[in-house]
Amino acid sequence: MQRTLRSLGLALCLGLLASASWSQGSANPAPREGVDVGRNSAFARLVPADEVEAAANKQYQDLLKQAASQNALAGPNHPQVMRLRRIADKLIPFAYSWNPRARNWRWEINLLGSRQINAFCMPGGKIAFYTGILDQLQLTDDEVAQIMGHEIAHALREHARERMGKSAATNIGAGLLSQVLGLGDIGRTLTNYGAELLTLKFSRDNETEADLVGLELAARAGYNPQAGVSLWRKMQAASKGAPPQWLSTHPAGSTRIAEIEAAIPQVMPLYERALGR
């Protein structure tokens, strides 16, 4: 019986989301320069964006406090922090066209002292790099921009909200249906899934979207798209032993490099224009 209710709830939720998407307009948007990854997932609308961003901010601030208590939070005058923030300042203005909410985000970028090969951008523009990813891979600015663009893209495409929405639709089933219809408190979704924001594993489709959107963000900011290829070759080399943490949720390989190479012609004109060529 419970399985039946869940299936019914999921089916009705999907129908409601499809209707909502159609009601927003079915006309084809004007062609745009750069990559095309379609609209954000309708599942993201099952979870309130402001609540997800508030939860992300709390987790991010808690992480910074913990790092500071361990003398592992780099100060604002640290050369690598200044470098990361300079790159972020170039990328962020190009984020707004991907997600209007990004204009109101309180963007932050910090550097955590750890040998982990890791970086992330939480909902609301909360970015962190680990010293390990900079030091062990000896990243150029162009390669840092590819990683940063990729992580920012996850936030812009609201992949965390999408994942929560899918989990809610599948696991809450009929209960979620009543919430979508205004009969319950969807905030409990965050209680169940909000703790996973730092450890969410995105789907292969999410990763492809992040690769492509990140490639475009970096190109528009004047960073060479070819660095997307050199970055993932470095990642492949680093994964020959124990796979780095960043690779545990960011699958790499020849297929991924081929996808990036195929997209480079779409963003190269944006890069050349950014350089004034």
Catalytic site residues? 151
Taking phi over 0 as left and psi of -120 to 50 as alpha, with beta for the rest, 223 belongs to: beta
Task: Name the residue among 33, 37, 145 with its Cα closest to residue 92.
Answer: 145
- Tokens 């995105």 locate to 202
**Max Cα-Cα span within the chain:** 64
